[in-house]
Chains A and B, each alone.
Chain A
Amino acid sequence: MGNKQTIFTAQQLDAYQDCTYFTRKEILRLFYRYRDLAPQLVPLDYTNHPDVKLPYELIGSMPELKDNPFRQRIAEVFSEDGEGNMTLDDFLDMFSVLSEMAPRDLKAYYAFKIYDFNNDDFICKSDLEKTLNKLTRNELTEDEVRMVCEKVIDEADLDNDGRLSLEDFQHMIVRAPDFLSTFHIRI
């Protein structure tokens, strides 16, 4: 593994392995995936912590993300700057949360953030409408959208405040066992 050691120091690799759900091999694979997005921007030597950020346009063009209706939200939620521009750390963090190993709580927390378009820490009606439009590509009429959103809130909102808090969301997730396998992007 001689040449691999030049990308990261052993300590860096340890840190990555301790903080994500990936093995060293996957980390290196992800690094190459990251680098392939912009070979001229990303150096092959990460030992001195270069400050590299890939713009959202590049991240969103990955085959894993490019057809995902939520790609922009995913990138925004996981990027440090909130604009979708990702460092390697953000990138690893994103795929770590979306990996098979991540526990339900972590996944639910980030899924909640993804659906919370206006970042007010509640999934309110406008968030649901946005989600619905992303999922169905504006195929429903306005009335239908409104009805669906009302129904969703009616079903999932336990404390009757008219929107979904993280607790409501988690409660729903716990009862939807498929979520673990669907909130999952294979690398």
Chain B
Amino acid sequence: MTSYSNGGFFNHAYHDSETLEMDRRHSSKTHHTNPYASHDPASWGESSEFPGQTHGYDAVGRAPGGGWQGESWRGRESLPTRPDSTRQHDRNHSTFRTDRDSQYGRAPPYQLPSSVSGNMTMRWRRIAVRRMSMFPDADPAHVAFTEDAIKNEMENEEQDLVKELVAMSTRDRIRTIRDLLMSFEEKKHIRRQVEALKSSYKSRQFTRLADFSENVSLSVRRAGYTIKSTRQTLELWQGIMKEIGGKFGSSVLSYFVFLKWLLMFNIFSFLVNFGFITIPLLVHDPSPNIPQNVSFRGLELLSGAGYFTYTVMYYGGYSNETLEGLVEYNMQLAYFFTIAVYMVLCGIALIFSMASSFRQNYVVAESVSNSAWQLLCSWDFSVTNDKAVRQRRNNLSVQLKESLSEKAQRELPTRSEKLKHFGIHFGSWILSTGLTVGCGASIYYLCRYEQQRATDTENWSLSQEAETLLVPFVVSLMNLVIPLFYSLFNKFEHYSSQRTQIYALVVRNVFLRMVILAVLCYYWMNVVAEKFSCWESVVGQALYRLVIFDFLFLMLGSFFGEFLSNVIGTRLLLSLGIPEFDVARNVLELIYAQTLAWIGIYFSPLLPAIQILKLFLLFYLKKVSLTQNCQPPRRSGRAAQMQTIFIFLLFFPFFVGALSMVAYTAWTLNPSEQCGPFRGFNNTFSVVGVWMAELEEISSSQWAVWIYQNVIRSEIFYFLGTLIIIVIIYIFWHVTKGRQELIRLLRQQIINEGKDKSFLLEKLHDLQKSNLSRNPKQKKQKEHTKRHLDDRSSSSHSSSNAMVQALLARQQFEGEERRNAGGVPVPSDISTSSAVMQAMVARQRAEREQDDLYHMPDEYSSPDSALAQAFAARQRAKAQESDEDNGSSAVMQAMQARQRAEADRGLDTGDLPFPVSNVMIQVMQARQRAEEEDRIQWVPAPSQNTAPPGSSALIQAMLARREAQNEYDDGY
């Protein structure tokens, strides 16, 4: 049972009706219409494989026709579509193929009243299909829709959509309208409709109140838009971003986006720290208590020591008092909770951005096909620079050529080559790990050496202060130089894919930085914490120096890394060429810088301010360096996936490391006795215990104490929490696995369907060829049937449907026949029993009708006359067949029956093959649709006769397929 939408196609009445007009219009206007209109030919493309066959339809299509012009029913009134839910459903149901001839012949025969006209056709088709699926065994007479009915239905659909939209909240509605896949004009039209309906609802209520609420909602919305646009004005560096994107493409741009994101992060943390820790202190006591003999010497800017030691820059500058102003402000609690809340917020923000990025870029993205991706997805539309465009084109063609030649001559490496590669990889890993470990050890001994020389005096001499710069200098130098070695190693290792190469580089760099930071942290917590009286400030100073030196070396790095290699590449060694901007290296530098800021947050609450300044300057520095020295990247990598990895790296070793360092400090280390907010406590966390003890005296806050006693301090709570999280993770893991399996199955199904389709088409093509040769023999028969059927088709619209039905019935019949014969094993399918039932019914009907037919062929009046006639036609075909005794197959019979029916239809052009393919295609469409529906419902097809429409269509389609298969087997 194929879609009834055929009705319009085969039916004479429809040929002159406005529906066809619409189709023609649609075919001449394919550009900016509704998606439905353009998905329209989706399943009809097959006919294009029979060149020259389309003109039959075309000829009909161009025949001067119908009453469109006379109709007042304009396209504009029809509401095209509804959002995604029904979309998928529709695509495969559409029937009419836009004719190629008319597309290429640029002159559309009719002027389009609106762009929506195509939608109406679609809409009508969808209705037809739906009707169809409601009455799978319905009489063809049902299909003969009047135009009024179609119109009504369309209006209803429009109303439905509008109502749906009206029922939504304003925000949802706007979003839905925006996301509709249609042109601007159509969106506007729908919006108008919605507003009109809404105001008509409103006017029924108390008008004044309605007016008021309307005005309020409008002004709220406008205020929202205003806020949005002011936020856009505040957006930093929009112009620069555009310039960079235009010149270097989005992968380089992603570095700057990341930088900006980090900057926002730091601005937030600065505001939090400054607002909750520093401002209260400054309000209470604006003048820092600096000893008399300490003055500002200038070196502090680099070393962070000296004068700065006594300011609010460091931990030591904060008091442990409860500030008494307008309200009591407990500095200890403020310090503790600000840092704790900030760290937790950071973690949550990171986890969320990581999760969303991961979901977007990894979960769905797997095994992206390479050439297709390069050709259709890799072009960067944001590139607007002439030079960049030229370069990209060159790169792309080089890459395509490479991939072609790779494919042509990819050979397995020999054993010795393999060994050599392995040796090189192994060696370079050993070497780089050795370098990293060596760096860590040398930094440790350097720190020990420095610590022996350093004294715990209040004021250092200038040279002593300068000595402190040694460690950060060495650390930053290592960070600058060692990665260069790694890149050098990378040149010698020949990784099979560029991606592994980048990952290897990233892993080594991350390892290096982790080791360096771990050594430093170990030193601070075990050595510094023992030796210095105000050790938190000393650690804070060390971190300050690291941050500053990191910045200086970043500047040096862009000088050496980019400027110098540019000079060398353009002047001295032309083979090196202009350098590319190394996104991975630069992003890792940013991550390292951010980790320093996180570790430092406890020891130096105002470190984010330095970080903000640093990032801000870095942005301009990198921008200048980029535009002056670099060229756009040759390979357009998968920037989005790299971004995910970077966020992950930022979170996992670095943020988690910083967090555990701070947590360890707060939980176990003794705060210094003489300075800072926590002097006198055993550890920082005990400030909460003290607070709770105070709270116990206040009866109204017993709940907080209870929480502290029973939740924070109890192991069972953590145990349970961990357990629950693990269970949730387990469940999600299983859901993910299930879905992956589902995706795999669905994909397999699509592929199978495609194979079916191409197989059937091929088969059909063969049959047509062989059939055409026998055509003369059947002429007479055809004419007979034609006369016979013409009597009826003049009064009814359904001859074409009869034809379709004939084919289907025959298929059922054949299926049944085969089963009875038992000669051909029928694959056990979910639908077998129901198919057999249907076949039986069809056969009985056919036999009954056959009798009738032979007795009184011209006196049909029963509702299913067309069907009956079709059966009759088939039966006669069979008889004829046996007379001729040509021993042809079942499909042969089908073809003949169909051809006769077609002849009845009196196709004006007499062009046979086209409709032939149509029928088969419709069968296949029916099958596709059925499977799609089936898939949506995700239930096994019921095996009774009273199957739902979806499964019955499925059954029929399957029968068609099986039969073809059997036929195929017979053939061989």
Contacts and interface: CB of A to CB of B under 8 A. Distances in A.
B377 A182 contact: yes
A72 B40 CA distance: 24
Given A82-B32, A140-B401, A181-B640, A172 B179 contact: no
A136 B378 CA distance: 13
A155 B233 contact: no
B714 interface: no
A18 interface: yes
Interface in B227-247: 228-229, 232-233, 238, 241-242, 245-246
Contacts of B376: 111, 115, 123, 131, 152, 156, 169, 172
A67 B389 contact: yes
A80 B375 contact: no
18 contacts: A10-B222, A69-B389, A121-B40, A135-B375, A135-B393, A136-B393, A136-B396, A139-B394, A140-B397, A151-B372, A160-B757, A165-B42, A167-B91, A172-B373, A177-B638, A178-B639, A182-B378, A185-B382
Interface residues of A, number: 86
A148 B375 contact: yes
Nearest to B246: A186
A175 B365 contact: yes
Interface stretch (B180-188, B532-540, B598-606, B616-624): B180-188
Contact of A26 (B29, B232, B379, B404): B232
A5 to B, nearest CB: 12
A178 B45 contact: no
Given A105-B84, A178-B639, A20 B184 contact: yes
Interface in B350-409: 360-361, 364-373, 375-386, 388-389, 393-394, 396-397, 400-401, 403-404, 407
A113 B91 CA distance: 16
A68 B389 contact: yes
B371 A67 contact: no
Contact of B366 (A120, A152, A175): A175
Contact of A139 (B238, B249, B397): B397
Given A23-B225, A132-B375, A80 B191 contact: no
A176 B32 CA distance: 25
Contact of A161 (B45, B379, B381, B389): B45
B377 A179 contact: yes
A45 interface: no
Given A24-B229, A159-B753, A120 B375 contact: no
Interface string A44-85: 000000000000000000011111111000001111111000
A173 interface: yes
Nearest to B103: A119
B245 to A, nearest CB: 6
A152 B403 CA distance: 12
Given A23-B225, A140-B400, A67 B250 contact: no
A186 B382 contact: yes
Contacts of B365: 174-177
A18 B29 CA distance: 27
Q: With a 10 A CB-CB cut-off, give which of B373, B403, B639, B641 has the most chain A CB atoms.
A: B373
A160 B385 CA distance: 38
Contacts of A14: 218, 221-222
A140 B750 CA distance: 33
Q: With a 10 A CB-CB cut-off, give which of B254, B375, B407, B747 has the most chain A CB atoms.
A: B375
A85 to B, nearest CB: 11
A105 B179 contact: yes
Contact of A23 (B228, B371, B400, B750): B228
The secondary-structure label for the interface of chain B is helix
Contacts of A63: 384
A44 to B, nearest CB: 20
Given A79-B31, A122-B45, A177-B360, A152 B400 contact: no
Q: With a 10 A CB-CB cut-off, give which of A68, A160, A179 has the most chain B CB atoms.
A: A160
Interface string A7-40: 0001000110111110111100000000000000
Interface in A133-159: 135-137, 139-140, 144, 147-148, 151-152, 155-159
Contact of B371 (A17, A89, A151): A151
Contacts of A181: 250, 253-254, 382, 639-640
A67 B385 CA distance: 7
B384 A68 contact: yes
Q: With a 10 A CB-CB cut-off, give which of A26, A121, A122 has the most chain B CB atoms.
A: A121
Contacts of A121: 30, 38-42, 98
Interface string B583-625: 0000000000000000000000000000000000000000000
A159 B179 contact: no
Interface in B169-210: 174, 177-179, 181, 183-185, 187-188, 191-192
A157 B755 CA distance: 12
B31 to A, nearest CB: 3
Contacts of B253: 181
A12 to B, nearest CB: 10
A148 B103 CA distance: 27
A176 B373 contact: yes
B377 A173 contact: yes
Closest 6 CB pairs of A and B: A82-B31, A160-B754, A155-B369, A159-B754, A93-B184, A25-B229
B811 interface: no
A46 to B, nearest CB: 14
Contacts of A42: none
Contacts of A111: 376
A26 to B, nearest CB: 7
A147 B402 CA distance: 12
A25 B389 contact: no
Contacts of B185: 80, 89
A118 interface: yes
Given A121-B38, A186-B242, A160 B755 contact: yes
Nearest to B231: A23
B29 to A, nearest CB: 7
B633 to A, nearest CB: 13
A119 B31 contact: yes
B379 A166 contact: no
A106 B381 contact: no
Contacts of B373: 172, 176
Interface string B19-39: 000000000011110010011
A64 to B, nearest CB: 6
A37 B28 CA distance: 30
Contacts of A158: 747, 750-751, 754
B801 interface: no
A78 to B, nearest CB: 6
A178 B638 contact: yes
A110 B797 CA distance: 39
